[in-house]
Structure 1
Amino acid sequence: MAPKRKAPLKRKLAEEFPPGEVLVDTAKKQWKLGTPIGKGGFGLLYLADENSSKPVSNNAPYVVKVEPSDNGPLFSELKFYMRAAKPELIQKWITSQKLKYLGVPKYWGSGLHEKNGNSYRFMVMDRFGSDLQKIFESNGKRFSHKTVLQLGLRLLDILEYIHEHEYVHGDIKASNLLLSHKNTNQVYLVDYGLAYRYCPEGIHKEYKEDPKRCHDGTIELTSIDAHKGVAPSRRGDLEILGYCMMQWLCGSLPWEDKLTDPNYVRDSKIRYRDNISSLMTKCFSGKDAPEIAKYLEYVKAMGYTEKPQYKKLREIFLDGLKSIGAKDDDKLDLSILENGSLTAVGEHKKKAAGRSKKTTEPRSSGGEKSPKKKAGLSNPVHSRKQEVEERAAHSSSDLPKRKRMKK
């Protein structure tokens, strides 16, 4: 008789704190909670502001993510934020690179909070507005050519920054791109719970295929390396960005007809990578987007440990803008109302307007969203997210002891 399998550990749910609850971070700074604005698997999101005698307003600039301290996901995300997202680090990069802004959320503080005999971990982050997935769907699953190229430019800025700080994101997609709460022409890449330190202390991880990690990520967008169980790399981030841009331009990708078959998706990507012109023909139906083909050819030629030529890639997208009579004017052509709700264009307008009331809740940089589309429907795999969470859950007790984490 086969031994019984142990059930997975059940993680605790976070209790809801009342408005006005004050949390004290590791730097002794006080943060006052407002109303909750989001709820995910095991955590809650609250509007927040620096502590004062006034209640937290609906225009509060921060959010606080709270979850039981013995859960793993927030601990994993904290490691990235503490190493690479401190405001002074981001501002130094913006100045040195002469950028107008950088779409990486800022880390403002974190700590532990005791309540009713329970311990909770929290992190203070920037507040954001709608995510691009909602806007993409409201616009009939299309973004304009100009908007897609501008998004590509902003994401290259973001990726260069996090890559230079030893991390890769590994899950770039529209639902992880949030608009600034105050400026809807600015977009931020969020959700670093799966961010991977590909180059600790300057030493790049080796290429190694791991069957336990096959197909990890969002199945339609993940890299070929990820399909093979290889740890995320800079090359993988750029490949995922290429798939995103094609999806935003075309509405869908050729392998989206069978996402429950991970091997089919993998093989389709490999086949089209080997013949990028056929991918262009399939997706664009005779329309011209030479800059996308040029970008994908560049990524195809990259080595696993190779450092991208970010300047060259930006020039490809800038040339693309020039070819359509546009320029990078920092204005995103997105259909957004002043109150933050979504509207659509053309025949989708009425349908999207009815949806907007239900889909415009502000999100934070750690905002909860719908689960990733995983490949393990018919062939379950041990995902990197599970592995990260399990490892973090075992080691999370040491976080309060670390006032500063070394790179």
Structure 2
Amino acid sequence: MPPKDRGRGKLPVPLPRDMILKDTEGKVWRLGSQIGHGGFGLIYLASPQTHVPVEDDAVHVIKVEYLENGPLFSELKFYQRAAKQEHIRKWMNLKKIRCLGIPVFWGSGLAEYKGKSYRFMAMERLGEDLQRIFEACGRRFKKETVLQLGARMLDTLEYIHENEYVHGDIKAANLLLGYTNPHEVYLADYGLSYRYCPNGNHKQYQENPRKGHNGTIEFTSVDAHKGVAPSRRGDLEILGYCMLQWLCGKLPWEQNLKDPVAVQTAKTKLMDELPDSVMEWDSSGSSCSEISKFLACVYGLAYDEKPKYQVLKKILLDGLESSGTRYDGPLEFSAAACTRTHCAAKVSKVRLPKPMPKPVQQKQKKMEGEEYVCQNKACTGVTGKQLQGEEKPTKFNRMLHQTEPQQVRLPKPSPKPVQQKQNTVKEEEYNCLSRPHARVTHRQFQAEEKPVKFYTTIQETEHPQKKDTARELPPFDPQATFSESKKKHNQLLTTDYPVSLQETG
């Protein structure tokens, strides 16, 4: 039974750290520290390893709400009905895509604390949300990044729509980068998701003023302003508004957000006057051509019509092709309006790989016998890219370092290639086809990196060769050896053995 509305909006009393929860499948979870909260619930780090405390690099989270709250119940039903991992993998194989962008659902259950009933849901941990990155980059993304995000979200929405659901609240705050791979993007928060086509029967178009202006006012669809139930065309319209804001930095109605009717009027005017209305909104004009075409296609859809996702995706891919960018390639969050000094430090928080474990660094210092100094000062602000001019050491050089550690004295190395090696591992895990089974965690990185030989440092061999004492003997002389042997033989023949003679007598 769905929860009652009277509890909607209440933040729960925080649960204690190290509390043990058991989900409906019998799996137990240990709570860690609280890392966030939404409008209705709290988010904790969590781990299925209940015998040890939850570490800060845990790869699971648990969302908690009061039992009577509604959003988590709606989100849970979406995952149970539409986001089973075996279905997602089949879809990815069918569509030949690397990552679908739906977080992994691990389980759910109920809990009691201080007389209150809670509902919880265990999920995979995600990284930074796009809204924070958008603000850090001066509220503007480069065009290639906008088109990449739009094309990937089309893949996600097509899957959701094919499983009878719409999201209803697409926005940068609900788009999160992967925790272990920041070049993946996920659509999260299905608390407002809606089953628009239960059992294959599409909901009828019906305006309801009492439910008007539902959703996030900047991006919600014209249908939602009229109180119409969410639909596929509504999701795509919202995505178009998001891309327009990411590219241009703002939307035409942002100055009237306190007046929902004025926002509705501005959106209606924009859609009615496509494509000129979008082309004129950006100062450069041509920069918005793909978005204007995208919104024009969406505007032509009927309420219950199935969108032509591949046609919409091709509009965005054509824009990427002209710039030589792959839609599933690395994401770069920078823009013309975003100075490098403004973005470098903040964006590096998103793209910076986990630093090397301290024991490994100490081992490096011990082997070198001197303080570990970075040649290039720029590497102290590394963002995961290799510095210009650096080359990966060859196999021959690595062998030379290992066999002659005392004779070959190299310059003090830059740690950048080591960082690049970590990023190479992250790029290999970019293929999330087998997720969650093959997802590499930060803790796994630490376990795997300890025996790794760092190519940029001089190393002592792990098993030093024993000294060959045989090589210190005098040279072999056959004649001398033969003479010595004959002398010993003659001595044996002339020697008396009194004990032996008495025994024979």
Partners of 1:287 and 1:56 in 2: CA distance: 51
Closer, same or farther: CA 140–70 of 1 in aligned 2, 3 Å? same
Kept in 1, the 8 Å contact 2:176–2:188? The answer is yes
Aligned to 2:16: 18
Structure-to-structure mapping, 1:26-105, within 5 angstroms: 26-105=24-103
Shift of 1:327: 3.1
Partners of 1:325 and 1:348 in 2: CA distance: 26
Partners of 1:13 and 1:327 in 2: CA distance: 42
Shift of 1:41: 4.0
Shift of 1:94: 1.6
Structure-to-structure mapping, 1:121-270, within 5 angstroms: 121-270=119-268
**Please, what TM-score do these two structures have when normalized by structure 2?**
0.64
Structure-to-structure mapping, 1:373-392, within 5 angstroms: none
Aligned to 1:120: 118
Closer, same or farther: CA 206–191 of 1 in aligned 2, 3 Å? same
Aligned to 2:401: none
Shift of 1:198: 0.3
Partners of 1:123 and 1:34 in 2: CA distance: 14
Q: Deviations over 1:229-270 (max 9, x none)?
A: 111100001111111111100001111121112121111111
Shift of 1:11: 6.3
Closer, same or farther: CA 19–290 of 1 in aligned 2, 3 Å? same
Kept in 2, the 8 Å contact 1:111–1:122? The answer is yes
Shift of 1:42: 4.3
Which stretch of structure 1 is more off in the superposition, 162-171 or 284-293? 284-293
Q: Deviations over 1:204-248 (max 9, x none)?
A: 000110001111111121111111111110000111111111110
Shift of 1:136: 0.6
Q: Equivalent residue of 1:122, what SS?
A: strand
Q: Equivalent residue of 2:205, what SS?
A: coil
Partners of 1:11 and 1:280 in 2: CA distance: 36
Closer, same or farther: CA 136–278 of 1 in aligned 2, 3 Å? same
**Please, what TM-score do these two structures have when normalized by structure 1?**
0.79
Kept in 2, the 8 Å contact 1:233–1:304? The answer is yes
Shift of 1:170: 1.0
Shift of 1:44: 1.9
Partners of 2:302 and 2:166 in 1: CA distance: 15
Aligned to 1:346: 339
Partners of 1:90 and 1:239 in 2: CA distance: 24
**Alpha carbon RMSD of aligned pairs, Å?**
2.4
Q: Does 1:291 align with 2:284?
A: no
Partners of 1:81 and 1:328 in 2: CA distance: 26
Q: Does 1:320 align with 2:319?
A: yes
Q: Equivalent residue of 2:291, what SS?
A: helix
Shift of 1:203: 0.4
Tell me the amino acid that sits aligned with residue 172 of structure 2: A
Q: Does 1:306 align with 2:287?
A: no
Partners of 1:274 and 1:297 in 2: CA distance: 9
Shift of 1:313: 1.1
Aligned to 2:332: 333
Q: Deviations over 1:117-139 (max 9, x none)?
A: 33211100111111001101110
Closer, same or farther: CA 225–33 of 1 in aligned 2, 3 Å? same
Q: Equivalent residue of 2:278, what SS?
A: helix
Q: Deviations over 1:43-91 (max 9, x none)?
A: 2211011134222111111100112222222112211111112222222
Kept in 2, the 8 Å contact 1:254–1:282? The answer is no
Q: Equivalent residue of 2:93, what SS?
A: helix
Partners of 1:249 and 1:299 in 2: CA distance: 19
Q: How many residues align?
A: 343
Gaps of 5+ in 1: 1-7, 336-343, 361-407
Kept in 2, the 8 Å contact 1:138–1:348? The answer is no
Tell me the amino acid that sits aligned with residue 346 of structure 1: T
Partners of 2:51 and 2:105 in 1: CA distance: 24
Shift of 1:36: 1.2
Partners of 1:134 and 1:112 in 2: CA distance: 32
Partners of 1:284 and 1:12 in 2: CA distance: 41
Partners of 2:318 and 2:289 in 1: CA distance: 10
Kept in 2, the 8 Å contact 1:139–1:348? The answer is no
Partners of 1:151 and 1:232 in 2: CA distance: 22
Q: Equivalent residue of 1:155, what SS?
A: helix
Which stretch of structure 1 is more off in the superposition, 179-188 or 92-101? 92-101
Closer, same or farther: CA 348–239 of 1 in aligned 2, 3 Å? farther
Aligned to 2:414: none
Aligned to 1:338: none
Aligned to 1:365: none
Closer, same or farther: CA 10–320 of 1 in aligned 2, 3 Å? closer
Closer, same or farther: CA 304–348 of 1 in aligned 2, 3 Å? farther
Q: Deviations over 1:82-109 (max 9, x none)?
A: 1112222222222222211110112110
Tell me the amino acid that sits aligned with residue 128 of structure 2: S
Kept in 1, the 8 Å contact 2:152–2:327? The answer is no
Partners of 1:354 and 1:245 in 2: CA distance: 22
Tell me the amino acid that sits aligned with residue 342 of structure 2: K
Q: Equivalent residue of 2:106, what SS?
A: strand
Tell me the amino acid that sits aligned with residue 318 of structure 1: L
Closer, same or farther: CA 286–182 of 1 in aligned 2, 3 Å? same
Partners of 1:41 and 1:137 in 2: CA distance: 21
Kept in 2, the 8 Å contact 1:87–1:108? The answer is no
Larger Rg: 2
